[in-house]
Amino acid sequence: MEPITRRSFITLSLRLAAMMGLGSSAVPAMADALERIVRGRAPALWLQGQCCSGCSVSLLDSEPLGADQLLTRQIALAFHQTLSGATGHQAVETVDRAIAAGGFILVVEGSVPASMPRACFFGEENFGSQLLRAARAAKAVVAVGTCATSGGIPAAEGNPTGATSVPAFLTRSGVATPCISIPGCPAHPDWIVGTLVHVLQFGLPQLDKAGRPAAFFGKLVHDQCPRFADYERENFAKNFGDDGCLFHLGCAGPLTRADCNLRQWNGGTNTCIRAGAPCIGCAWEGFAAKRDFPFYLKNDHTRPAEGDRT
Amino acid sequence: MGPSPPLGVGHAGRVLSPTVRPFAMKETITVSPVTRIEGHLGVTIETDGGRVASARVVGEMFRGFERILRGRDPLDAQQVTQRICGVCPVEHGIASVLAQDAAYGIAPPPNGRIARNLAQAANFIASHITHFYLLSGLDFVDVAQVTTYTGNDSALIALRDWAKSELATNTVNAGGPFLPQFPAQLIRDPELNLGILRHYLEALEVRRDAHKLGALFLGKLPHAAALIPGGITEKITAIQIAAARALLARLATFVEQVYVPDVVAVATAFPAYFSLGRSCGNFLAYDAFPQSDGGSPLLPAGALRDGRLERVDIAAITEDVRYSWYSSPSGLRPTAGETEPAPDKPDAYSWLKAPRYAGSPMEVGTLARLLVAYRDGRTPAVKSAIDSLLKTTGRTPADLDSVLGRHAARAVESKLLVERCAAWLEELRPDRPSCVDFKIPATASGVGLTEAARGALGHWIEIREHRIANYQCVVPTTWNCSPRDDNGRPGPLEHSLVGTPVADPAQPIEAARVIRSFDPCIACAVH
């Protein structure tokens, strides 16, 4: 998809302004209008499966592109269960109208209870059935958060609902709509916004083998760690609250691909590792999956044998 | 908005017991999904003569957290349980570390205890502001009215131009996600309406600042990284305290100058809602926000039943499952709780269990804890804040037990918390420890009781052979949105809906306002 640049709108606006006898002060507003007309704000539909709404809450923490800008300037969000004015049958009709019209980007938060459809309902329809209807009509699917991308905690060992990731469920059901994965528990707002805006304005971003945007998930947490020098010097923290590399406390930075150490959370306020907390691998595809793979190596009796973690 | 359905036909087209007299007309109205709450909720209402005669509240989503936690490392719990809910993660994390603190026999140093309070309070404030403006606001505010705006506020101009261009297009769902609304009975005064709409936009920024305040101490939000048994992993520094002061000042301004006045204005515009949504009469709260002086917590525990305040006896808590999709035994205490799903169970209608206190349904939440604290009397700030609210609105304490009482309680509590946070910040000491070390015993158990924004939250952990043998959560919305218990008694929301007038079955806005006044969180409630 050929990107349309801001410059091309300004060039066009300059010509139009000259033709219409308007001064140069009219150009930015005209460029805005043209941009909107040409691009339209591509419609998006946000559905929730077995989720905690944490990725939606994370999206509200977006900055500098705040939620108001996002909802009114960047994305035409047809429906979102936590934000929509529509209630009850109105909500069901709103979603159904969007699906009937097609051509939207489908954003999915949460996993699918594949072996227990009763475990997630929207109106009178189980979530799996709603998801398949929507995904078939969508231009692209964006799975947001680790529950959607790899099953996450709902799919962890011992789970009773057969929770399944969105891409696995769609593939199993023969839906071929392209699917982008944005892991993270929650997903960082920049990862969601950056991906959506890229898809809407420039087409599919460069993806890795797991369907993740390479721009956000190309490097290991460990490689961009503020405590990397401690690791190099073998200066390891022994207890929580200690200085030093957190590897011996169970840090999953060497397994997890995500740019959170550079990007930081909550508008640059902090990061897990800066706050002394080992990375628990929330964007890693194996996040929380196994009982015998604890988040922390503090408990001598549940830690795996040396070497098992990598 | 379509035309009203013919009498005797519910909105979903179901034909319902037609009778001769229109005012004796019985109807079934299904509100599903209830949007603008957390998660998957449906409510089925039977009306008789235009009022709710009975209601069934249906939790529509289940994941099985308590099952997933079994066999895991106990330290996984405060991270796993935060993922029960992205709106209330801090509170679940705190309940879990309190349960583990008890199980390991440790207590955090002052920095750890204060930082936990600050992050918990920050999440309360974020949650309350989100609830009033983003979740409940659209039950009162007429969004489309912004198209007539003629003032010079840049944010409203941007919203007006957006709304106009949306409504001028023929695209499906123009104006989403804000439109469509139930158009009936919204605020009529344009100045008030536009004012609250403007504050909706501001609330988006302020709730983000509240999350930053939490993230300063806990690494990130939602799903805080730095909570740990024995305290927090983050170190306290002078610059962090200074940054927290700046964020807190913004929160305080918004809460005091905008949020509290807006709640009072909505209360003045919709006075009928001081008598709708009356509770089951029982309220439960746990201790929350331990204070540095070792005395009483900011918000004390109590069980208020039939107007009498009792000490909380956690052995009186049981969970019924007769009408819940579980086959495990009914009436178990959380220490022996079981969660065996049975999605095809006859007569069951919800994924929520039905918690009861000495057999009684109990309302939990901000209103419950403020009523308990008001009666308890050990926190004078609560008494003066409530008395001041009653004076401003010209109401009596009995009026607080209502839709508007719940909204007002959240605003009052937000004000109380920004004031307390300012004092707590000054008690932090840079370079002193914020956590203590601990050992995880082979066998131990612990209970963590605290308050979430939405009410009384309890976690029960049992450790055997160094692993989690059982983990049970009894969560605020489980109390409030519970189905009927084994004796057929409705849950608090089911009870509160009874008597609510529904003028137009196609737009059950009155019922929606009662439901949302509880700020339901279904991911929490079912987990």
Give B229-271 pLDDT, tens digit per residue: 999 999 999 999 999 999 999 999 999 999 999 999 999 999 9
Q: Tell which of B4, B28, B44, B73 to mutate to test the A interface (max A CBs under 10 Å).
A: B73
A265:B215 CB<8 A: yes
Residue B46 pairs with which residues in a beta bridge?
B28, B54
Bridge-based pairing state of the strands A43-48 and A105-109: parallel
Residues of B in contact with A153 (CB under 8 A): 63, 65, 68, 80, 83
DSSP code string of B471-510: EEEE-HHHHHT----TT-PPPHHHHHHTT-B-S-TT--HH
Q: Is B62 on the interface with A (CB under 8 A)?
A: yes
Q: How far apart are CA B19 and CA B16, in angstroms?
A: 9
Q: How far apart are CA A132 and CA A123, in angstroms?
A: 16
3-state secondary structure B385-429: HHHHHHHHHCCCHHHHCCHHHHHHHHHHHHHHHHHHHHHHHHHCC
Residue B314 Cα, gap to closest chain A Cα (Å): 27
B64:A121 CB<8 A: no
Q: Is B122 on the interface with A (CB under 8 A)?
A: no
Residues of A in contact with B497 (CB under 8 A): none
Q: Is the pLDDT of residue B222 over 60?
A: yes
Residue B133, token pair as written in the block: 């403006």
Q: How far apart are CA A242 and CA A255, in angstroms?
A: 22
The count of CB pairs under 8 A between chains A and B is 304
A43:B435 CB<8 A: no
Residue A185 pairs with which residues in a beta bridge?
none
B219:A274 CB<8 A: yes
Q: Which residue of A has its CA nearest to B244?
A: A269
pTM surpassing 0.90?
yes
Provide, rounded to the nearest whole percent, the portion of chain B with pLDDT above 70.
95
* All residues at 6 or more sequence positions from A267 whose CB lies less than 8 Å from its CB, including other chains: A61, A63, A64, B208, B212
Instruction: Please state, in angstroms and as integers, the Cα–Cα distance from residue A16 to each residue in A10, A12, A25, A35, B161, following that order.
Output: 10, 6, 13, 14, 22
**Residue pair B517/B263 in contact by the 8 Å Cβ criterion:** no
Residue A155, token pair as written in the block: 């799919």
Q: How far apart are CA B414 and CA B50, in angstroms?
A: 36
Q: How far apart are CA B304 and CA B312, in angstroms?
A: 9
Tens place of pLDDT for every residue, chain A, 310 residues?
334 455 665 666 676 666 666 667 766 665 555 454 444 566 899 999 999 999 999 999 999 999 988 888 888 899 999 999 999 999 999 999 999 999 899 999 999 999 999 999 999 999 999 999 999 999 999 999 999 999 999 999 999 999 999 999 999 999 999 999 999 999 999 999 999 988 887 888 999 999 999 999 999 999 999 999 999 999 999 999 999 999 999 999 999 999 999 999 999 999 999 999 999 999 999 999 999 999 999 887 776 655 455 4
**Residue pair B114/B426 in contact by the 8 Å Cβ criterion:** no
Q: How far apart are CA B234 and CA B111, in angstroms?
A: 10
Residues of B in contact with A276 (CB under 8 A): 219, 226, 233-235
Residues of B in contact with A225 (CB under 8 A): none
Polymer length of chain A:
310
**Residue pair B200/A118 in contact by the 8 Å Cβ criterion:** no
Instruction: Find the CB nearest A160 among B67, B73, B234.
Output: B67
Residue B204 Cα, gap to closest chain A Cα (Å): 7
Q: How far apart are CA B101 and CA A191, in angstroms?
A: 35
B467:A302 CB<8 A: yes
Instruction: Find the CB nearest A52 among B84, B138, B234.
Output: B84
Residues of A in contact with B76 (CB under 8 A): 288, 294-296
Q: How far apart are CA B527 and CA A188, in angstroms?
A: 23
Q: Which residue of A has its CA nearest to B247?
A: A269
